[in-house]
């Protein structure tokens, strides 16, 4: 097993062992690509959502929130294009009976070519040292140039065929490139077929015709579009303004692997920003930068995040970029920023027969606004944060079992538990009583934990493993002078402070205001 795969496996078992994420319906052998969040997972997820919500709604006078229903009129999905175009091209392997996304097989082939080029570049960089000119090398090295030519030709054909819905050519490309089933090596493929990703259900019990068919929303965005005028009128917002929403979305993903990266039920944090027609690229660039800053504020190293423009634009977009994160299985989409034009509002206007126009008093003009969307998956954000935070490190001056520790270095504002209160000994009434007193006071301000079981070192390790930024220990000196030891998670530094100082210390490091500033 590669080191990366091994680390990923450890991450998944850490999430289960410490109550962050459980497989759904586990006692019935689980339900593929559906997960439940345990006590600490639920806290972390709530904190991620609070950080997103506050940075949108609290920090922008011109962004307001919404909580629309999951069930919506089925025509909404006709107008949005999801009934006709929210498809993935699937292909089955006749020997292994495994199902794949045809586009992902070709993208995987392209990624391998990119890796080959990157390897040649790295070899040359080592050979030439400081004088190495990467751009020149990529142009002049015959092997790299050949890979690049091949890459560009495949990408060009792939983009065209995907855009035109030419599934026969996607199949031809898979055959010509001799792409094999990644698990078995077989090249015995079926034709490529379109597969709609929406789940449907029946509305109203007994009826079962097409009219009573409802879809579980595959994105939260449409709830915002159909409420655009309700929100604008009731809040008296002027363009440009935004509507933010957090909620569940459902997609019948063909290939759902990699833990909570690709789920069938997940949560999105989406904001639609309504702008004047013609100003969408200015706002698209604004939100690209703003969203990158939001990720960086959490302490995510810049080299773990990058922009990737879309090769294939969705049916509603005239520009689109992903913020990719370096997950344990490589750089993949974490967030999408899309310039959606007036596609959605115009389609809803047409199909519903209701005007969805805005009167711009400065221009003295009615128009359908253009929209720039930011859309980040809450679960993917969770995976990005926890995979980067989970670390194993050696503890200076410690021996045996204590020489290493597993620590979750989450940003303190997002940590599930902010402070643990620990009496030095369990069976000393004066210590446990005092510790309870401290805990009962601090719990008004933050989520705290009282823990008296096991030796103090083990209790510190338990808190490290769930990412608690501070541990407060009550000892015999506390009874004399009302001071406690406060230990900081990352540095493991311990400091003696007065009990009445603890709340301020913990608050300063864990409040969200620090992130916004
Ligand atoms: N409204 C636009 C939209 O839905 P998207 O790129 O399809 O765009 C936005 O999805 C974000 O939702 C993605 O960047 C990802 O973080 C998250 N997401 C999409 N599909 C997902 C899935 N199956 N499981 C978990 N997260 C998903």
| Mutation probe of ligand 1 site: the residue of 380, 382, 385 with most atoms within 8 A of C-beta | 380
> What integer pLDDT is reported at residue 95 of this predicted model?
95
Single residue among 386, 419, 446 that ends a domain in this structure: 386
Calculate how far, in angstroms, residue 127's C-alpha sits from the geometric centre of ligand 1.
Answer: 42
Question: Strand, helix or coil at 319?
Answer: strand
Cα R_g (the chain), whole angstroms: 27
For ligand 1, atom 12, the nearest C-alpha belongs to: 377
Distance 268 CA to ligand 1 centre (A): 7
Six token digits for residue 29: 């052998």
Q: What is the pLDDT of residues 88-126, one digit of tens each?
A: 999 999 999 999 999 999 999 999 999 999 999 999 999
Query: Given this model, what pLDDT does residue 397 score?
Result: 80
Residue closest via CA to ligand 1's atom 21 equals: 262
Residues 406 and 371 in one domain: no
Q: How far is the CA of 251 from the centre of ligand 1 (A)?
A: 9
Q: Closest residue (by CA) to atom 19 of ligand 1?
A: 377
Strands 470-474 and 419-423: parallel
Does 279 fall in a domain? yes
Residue 164: per-residue pLDDT: 87
Which residue, by CA, sits nearest to atom 4 of ligand 1?
219
Tell me the C-alpha to C-alpha distance, in Å, between residue 95 and each of 106, 157, 189.
20, 28, 8
- Ligand 1 interacting residues, C-beta cut-off 6 A: 219, 221, 251, 253, 262-263, 266, 268, 270, 333-336, 373, 375-377, 379-380
Under 8 Å between Cβ of 268 and 247: yes
293 and 378 fall within a common domain: yes
Q: CA 111 to CA 173: how far, in whole Å?
A: 15
- Whether residues 214 and 334 share a domain: the answer is yes
Q: How far apart are CA 49 and CA 70, in angstroms?
A: 18
As a dihedral over the C-alpha atoms of residue 346, residue 350, residue 351, residue 353, rounded to 10 degrees, the angle is 120
167 in a domain, yes or no?
no
Domain range for residue 453? Answer: 395-516
The answer for residues whose C-beta is within 8 angstroms of residue 283's C-beta and 6 or more apart is 240, 273, 275, 372
**If you take atom 20 of ligand 1, which residue's CA is the nearest one?**
262
Written in H, E and C, the secondary structure of 44-88 is: HHHHHHHHHHHHHHHCCCCEEEECCCCCCCCHHHHHCCHHHHCEE
**Helix axis angle, 3-17 to 378-389, nearest 10°:** 110
> What string of DSSP letters covers 442-470?
HTTTS-EEE--SS-HHHHHHHHHHHT-SE
> What CATH number is associated with residue 216?
3.30.930.10
H helices of 129-166, where?
134-140, 142-164
**Residue 452's Cα: distance from chain center in Å?**
36
Residue among 80, 375, 384 whose CB has most ligand 1 atoms within 8 A, to mutate: 375
**Top mutation candidate among 66, 221, 268, 382 for ligand 1, by most atoms within 8 Å of CB:** 268
**Distance set, CA 450 to CA 43, 152, 444, 476, 489 (Å):** 17, 59, 14, 18, 16
Q: What is the CATH number of the domain that holds 416?
A: 3.40.50.800
Q: Which of 248, 315, 335, 377 to mutate to test the pocket of ligand 1 (most atoms within 8 A of CB)?
A: 377
Phi then psi for 275, rounded to 5 degrees? -130, 170
Looking at the fold, whether 242 and 369 belong to one and the same domain comes out as yes
Atom of ligand 1 nearest to the CA of 270: 1
Q: Do 380 and 405 belong together in one domain?
A: no
Instruction: Examine the fold and report which residue of 357, 386, 415 is the final residue of a domain before the chain moves on.
Output: 386
Neighbour-count burial of 310, counting CB atoms closer than 10 A to its CB (0-12 exposed, 13-18 middle, 19+ buried): middle
Indicate the number of domains in the chain: 2
The answer to whether the CB of 175 falls within 8 A of the CB of 191 is: no
Give the distance (Å) from ligand 1 centre to CA of residue 208: 30
Mutate to test the pocket of ligand 1, among 86, 261, 266, 308 (most ligand atoms within 8 A of CB): 266
How far is the C-alpha of 474 from the C-alpha of 483, rounded, in Å?
Answer: 8
Whose alpha carbon is nearest atom 18 of ligand 1?
Answer: 377
Asked if residue 284 is part of any domain, the answer here is: yes
Atom of ligand 1 nearest to the CA of 263: 24
Q: Whose CA is nearest to atom 14 of ligand 1?
A: 335
pLDDT score at 207: 54
The DSSP output letter for 368 is P
Is residue 326 domain-shared with residue 441, that is, in the same domain? Answer: no
Q: Which atom of ligand 1 is nearest to the CA of 322?
A: 14
Tokens of 226: 């159909």
Rounded Cα–Cα distance for residues 275 and 345 (Å) = 12
Specify whether the backbone of 446 is left (phi greater than 0), alpha (psi in -120 to 50) or beta: beta
Residues 23, 82 within the same domain: yes
Positions in the chain whose pLDDT score sits under 50: none
Q: Give the closest residue (by CA) to ligand 1 atom 16.
A: 377
Rounded Cα gap, residues 420 and 40, in angstroms: 14
Upstream peptide bond of 240 is cis (omega within 30 degrees of 0): yes
Q: Are residues 371 and 429 in the same domain?
A: no
pTM score:
0.91
Q: Cβ atoms within 10 A of the Cβ of 381, count?
A: 24
Atom index in ligand 1 nearest the CA of residue 377 equals: 16
Whole-number Å distance, alpha carbon 198 to ligand 1 midpoint, is 13
Q: Length of the chain in residues, anyone? A: 517
How far is residue 509's CA from residue 505's CA, in Å, rounded to a whole number? 7
- Structure token digits, residue 394: 């050696």
Among the candidates 341, 357, 386, a domain finishes at 386
Q: Are residues 310 and 455 in the same domain?
A: no
């Amino acid at each position: 097993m590669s080191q990366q795969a091994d680390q990923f496996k450890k991450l998944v078992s850490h999430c289960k062992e410490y109550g962050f994420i459980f497989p759904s319906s586990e006692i019935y052998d689980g339900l593929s690509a559906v997960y439940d969040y345990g006590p600490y997972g639920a806290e972390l997820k709530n904190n991620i959502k609070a950080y997103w919500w506050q940075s949108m709604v609290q920090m922008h006078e011109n962004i307001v929130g919404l909580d629309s229903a999951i069930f919506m009129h089925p025509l909404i999905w006709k107008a949005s294009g999801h009934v006709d175009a929210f498809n993935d091209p699937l292909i089955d392997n006749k020997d292994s009976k495994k199902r794949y996304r045809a586009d992902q097989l070709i993208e995987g082939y392209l990624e391998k070519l990119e890796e080959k080029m990157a390897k040649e570049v790295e070899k040359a960089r080592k050979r030439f040292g400081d004088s190495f000119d990467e751009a020149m090398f990529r142009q002049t090295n015959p092997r790299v140039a050949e890979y690049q030519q091949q890459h560009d030709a495949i990408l060009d054909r792939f983009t065209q065929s995907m855009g035109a819905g030419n599934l026969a050519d996607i199949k031809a490309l898979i055959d010509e490139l001799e792409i094999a089933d990644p698990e078995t090596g077989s090249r015995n493929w079926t034709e490529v077929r379109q597969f709609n990703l929406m789940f449907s259900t029946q509305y109203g019990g007994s009826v079962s015709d097409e009219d009573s068919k409802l879809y579980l929303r595959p994105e939260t965005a449409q709830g915002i579009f159909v409420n655009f005028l309700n929100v604008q009128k009731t809040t008296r917002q002027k363009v440009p303004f935004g509507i933010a929403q957090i909620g569940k979305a459902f997609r019948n993903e063909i290939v759902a692997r990699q833990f909570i990266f690709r789920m069938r039920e997940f949560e999105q944090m989406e904001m639609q920003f309504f702008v004047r027609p013609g100003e969408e690229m200015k706002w698209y660039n604004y939100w690209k930068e703003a969203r990158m800053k939001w990720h960086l504020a959490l302490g995510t190293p810049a080299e773990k995040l990058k922009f990737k423009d879309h090769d294939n634009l969705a049916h509603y977009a005239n520009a689109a970029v992903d913020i990719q994160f370096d997950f344990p299985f490589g750089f993949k989409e974490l967030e999408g920023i899309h310039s959606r034009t007036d596609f959605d509002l115009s389609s809803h206007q047409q199909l519903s027969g209701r005007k969805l126009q805005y009167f711009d008093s400065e221009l003295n003009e009615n128009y359908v606004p253009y929209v720039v969307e930011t859309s980040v998956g809450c679960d993917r954000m969770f995976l990005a944060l926890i995979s980067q935070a989970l670390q194993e490190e050696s503890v200076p001056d410690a021996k045996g079992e204590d020489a290493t520790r597993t620590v979750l270095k989450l940003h303190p504002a997002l940590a599930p538990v902010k402070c643990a209160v620990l009496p030095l000994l369990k069976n000393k009434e004066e210590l446990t009583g005092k510790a309870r007193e401290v805990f009962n006071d601090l719990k008004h301000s933050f989520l705290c934990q009282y823990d008296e079981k096991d030796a103090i070192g083990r209790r510190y390790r338990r808190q490290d493993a769930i990412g608690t930024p501070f541990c407060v220990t009550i000892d015999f000196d506390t009874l004399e002078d009302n001071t406690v030891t406060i230990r900081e998670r990352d540095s493991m530094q311990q400091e003696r402070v007065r009990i009445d100082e603890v709340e301020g210390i913990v608050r300063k490091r864990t409040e969200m205001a620090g992130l916004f500033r």
